[in-house]
Structure 1
Amino acid sequence: MARPAFPHIPWSAPQGREPGPRVLGINPWITDFAAFNVWSRPAGLLACLDMLRSAGASVALLDCLAPTWEAAPDLGLKWPKPGKYGTGHYPKEEIEPPAPLAFMDRRYSRYGLPRDRVIEALAALDPAPDAVLVTTIMTYWYPGALDILDICAELWPDAPRFLGGTYATLCGDHAARHTDAHLQQGPLEGPENWSRFWELIDFDIPQQADKDGLSLALDLYADPAYSIVLGSRGCPFACEYCASNALYPRFRQSGAEAVMVGIRSEYERGVRDFAFYDDALLVNPDRWLWPVLDGLAASDMAPRLHTPNAMHVRHLTVDVCERLKAAGLTTVRLGLETTDFDHRHDVKLTREQWKAGARNLLNAGFNLDDIGVYILFGLPGQDLGNVEEAVQHVRAYGFRPHLAHYTPIPGSPMFETACAASPYPLKDEPLFQNNSIWPCVPGGFNWDEAKRWKLLLHGERG
């Protein structure tokens, strides 16, 4: 019995103009020891597809991490039931780890849609693409991107292939050696990148309709369980462990009207959960955030808002917390890093600011279960006793502590320090940048320590 055909991947043409080139965007599989969907969307790729469509291209999306086709039950695709507010597990297939990671005593998997079904979907794409744009979210997830690029090369050998995103931008030398694709380093809206893209696909260079990359082609998801909100790109701060400035050198903010239009459009499609993707959500809130929050509070919509990227605690004034609560903020994530307030690696936060922010959240009506606090774990040279103290400190407030495992990222100010502290060749092989191996913790990952930390997070002693 022949198995059901994969659904057709639709092309989305530009409105009001003759379609130009066909550009297929692909978000590849995650390859890792663990992965969990916390409102994941490839924001950079969606920005590129929106810009290209506005400039005249027809675009299509294959997201290997999204159950876009689960609505067709006869496909035989099993996707875990969404968890709280649309988050949840990915389907996975255990695979052999890459040779550099074979020493790890952990299972390694490919997360997302089944590989053979992805190949079928791509092979059925008609008409074929004139160009393929593949993104990378984490540097050490590049095996999935290289795999999908090889598949595309076999299917459409004459179509130019582009590799963009974090890996291509921050690990360019490694990417150039390991893939037969044009590297798209940095934002597409940059004038050099924009011109180069159109020249390489042999089309006339159109004028850009969006030079900020803040409009996203979210409509390419047929039946989304959640959506994302992007009111800014980049970050005005320069935390030592972060590479945001290397990825987006300029901090750009949207206007409130454009953000509200995007939320309204997704809400009318049935979406109720929205995750803010901004690195600096509470900076210059008059620019767009206040009008959006106030507009939501006064509207006929009742969205649930989430902040998976930590908010800066020092900005959590009484007014800020009340606006967030009134607009529907449901999942609160804060960045504490450490309770050693005199020796911090991020934006300066005083003990008084931390206490005030925590108090203001509770006074605004947020429940303790709503509030999670990220504590950095595994920094080079870090005293893990301080991490344990921070966990206990957060639990004393009634909040839920979460360990934010340190990822040594090329382009971040701390990367050289990480390279000196790690026994692994972080510069030469991005696979060793994986925070699952605890790359800068003496002795690396081990199950006994992982269990002990899990017990501590839940208020137990191992």
Structure 2
Amino acid sequence: MTRPTHPHIPWSGGQGAKPARVLGINPWITDFAAFNLWSRPVGLLACLSMLREAGAAVALMDCLDPTWDGVPWPRPGRHGTGHYPKTEIEPPPALAFTGRRYSRYGLDRDLVRQGLARLDPPPDAVLVSSIMTYWYPAALDALAMAAELWPDAVRVLGGTYPSLCTDHAARHARANLLVRGPLERPDNWARLWAALGRQAPPLPEETGLRLALDLYPEPDYAPVLGSRGCPFACDYCASRALHPDFVQSAPGPVLASMEAEQARGVRDFAFYDDALLVAPERWLWPVLDAVAASMPEVRLHTPNAMHVRNLTADTCHRLKAGGLTTVRLGLETTDFDHRHDVKLTRREWEAGAANLVDAGFDLADIGVYILFGLPGQDLGRVEQAVGHVRDFGFRPHLAHYTPIPGSPMFEAARRASPYPIAEEPMFQNNSIWPCVPGGFDWDEAARWKALLQGKPAPGA
């Protein structure tokens, strides 16, 4: 399947004389900055997969993918990552005070509208995803575009924004239906089919874990999803609010998906699991064994942080043998007596780090996330953690804190932030440092960048 001459969007699947037609839209990103780290809307792709298996015809418009031949796009970076095209736009009124440039990232808006307008036959339903709560303007724009093009189609908004900011979404979105949480929840599944005026078919097997990756005509990379949810409940995370249950796949479907994408030329796969190393014998080890045996050219990446305490010597050797290339770890802080995530001792951290090195991982490929901007956080501790990570030879990365509704820490964030983060999701944007006294500051940002690189601070 090659990229069509734009603008064309094909339908896929469909059973019966008049199958329901469902178009999925992954909207643009609207923000101060955006970078592609193997980004795919896995929630939307899971929805389209289960709908197609249930008999619907589906189509995808991913505004963050080149999609068509002849579309200008920045040259891909290392292993398929890279920049998006961007169009500078006026910042939303809530963020105008920053004085910073604000952009729409992804495909040209007019080109997207042309492609959607030519969709034939038109959709019965339009399913719009939302990944970050503060990116909601693009989701609202996609819904408005759908309403103009197909006023009779059912407009559905799902994902993080309506799940965690339901009241705000209900007031502002031109949607007929808001889906909170996974579509495979029986009430959500029934409501969607009722909105289509149809009897809900049975949910397919492996619901929520199969992804409609074939809807991308020429993918440079692909996600791997072996589980949904997380068995832990870290203070700053809303995974439990979005996916209350921790569900793992059997190895067969995961491996079949990877083999199908490899046959289409994909060499880079990114794990999207929140708890990749929990009970790995259930699916991860069989998959890695098969990859090592029959797909030696594949590169695996973990943009989501792995839990360091699970990095035993055997685990690290299995990951290396299976083709893991990009390693990201969740350290949070080196103040081991005052942590907000799953308890990690200094001994566990040092053992996990040593095991990675002993397994043969390149130091340059090991990045460590350190939380920055938590409510009431001592930023001196963050500096210590940065130095600590650099002393190991690893690459420190600041994970800027996002106050997420539904997370245990959100109330503390609401009290600490000068912005009304509970009322307006725009202020949940981690780019404005919403819980750091004084907020974002260019000089401080430059100082932190120099610290991360091990360079003297500007002007020092």
Please give the range of the TM-score, normalised by the shorter of the 2 chains. Answer: over 0.9
SS of residue in 1 equivalent to 2:236: coil
Query: In the alignment, which of 344, 351, 356 is matched to residue 356 of structure 1?
Result: 351
Q: What amino acid is the match of 2:239?
A: S
- Per-residue deviation, 1:302: 2.2
Equivalent in the alignment of 1:208: 203
Equivalent in the alignment of 2:255: 260
CA distance in 1, matches of 2:428, 2:17: 45
- Per-residue deviation, 1:7: 2.8
- Per-residue deviation, 1:423: 0.2
Query: In the alignment, which of 185, 195, 198 is matched to residue 193 of structure 2?
Result: 198
Query: In the alignment, which of 135, 138, 153 is matched to residue 132 of structure 2?
Result: 138
Equivalent in the alignment of 1:11: 11
Provide, for residues 269-314 of structure 1, a one-character-per-residue CA deviation record: whole Å limited to 9, x for no partner.
0000000000000001111011111111111442100000000000
* Cα contact 1:19–1:57 (8 A) shared by 2: no
CA distance in 2, matches of 1:437, 1:81: 28
CA distance in 2, matches of 1:423, 1:406: 15
Equivalent in the alignment of 1:156: 150
Equivalent in the alignment of 1:26: 25
Is 1:49 matched up with 2:48? yes
- Per-residue deviation, 1:461: 2.4
Equivalent in the alignment of 1:59: 58
How many pairs were matched up? 453
* Cα contact 1:18–1:56 (8 A) shared by 2: no
TM-score, normalised to structure 2, is 0.97
- Per-residue deviation, 1:5: 7.4
Equivalent in the alignment of 2:300: 305
Equivalent in the alignment of 1:89: 83
* Cα contact 1:68–1:224 (8 A) shared by 2: no
Equivalent in the alignment of 2:167: 173
Between the aligned residues of both structures, percent identity stands at: 71
Unaligned ranges ≥5, structure 1: none
- Per-residue deviation, 1:212: 3.2
Q: What amino acid is the match of 2:391?
A: A
CA distance in 1, matches of 2:72, 2:207: 38
Equivalent in the alignment of 2:402: 407
Is 1:291 matched up with 2:286? yes
CA distance in 2, matches of 1:437, 1:194: 37
- 4+ residue segments displaced more than 4 Å: 16-19
SS of residue in 2 equivalent to 1:373: strand
* Cα contact 1:53–1:59 (8 A) shared by 2: yes
Q: What amino acid is the match of 1:370?
A: D
Query: In the alignment, which of 413, 421, 424 is matched to residue 418 of structure 1?
Result: 413
CA distance in 2, matches of 1:28, 1:210: 28
Q: What amino acid is the match of 2:33?
A: A
Q: What amino acid is the match of 1:88?
A: G
Residues 1:282 and 1:19: Cα distance change in structure 2 (over 3 Å): farther
CA distance in 1, matches of 2:11, 2:39: 22
Unaligned ranges ≥5, structure 2: none
Equivalent in the alignment of 1:373: 368
- Per-residue deviation, 1:210: 2.9
SS of residue in 2 equivalent to 1:381: coil
Q: What amino acid is the match of 2:8?
A: H
| Aligned CA-pair RMSD | 1.1
- Per-residue deviation, 1:67: 1.0
Residues 1:159 and 1:353: Cα distance change in structure 2 (over 3 Å): same
SS of residue in 1 equivalent to 2:61: strand
| Aligned 1:64-79 pairs, distance under 5 A | 64-69=63-68, 72-73=69-70, 77-79=71-73
Equivalent in the alignment of 2:38: 39
CA distance in 1, matches of 2:272, 2:379: 29
| Aligned 1:94-109 pairs, distance under 5 A | 94-109=88-103
Q: What amino acid is the match of 1:112?
A: G
Is 1:125 matched up with 2:119? yes
Query: In the alignment, which of 325, 331, 334 is matched to residue 336 of structure 1?
Result: 331
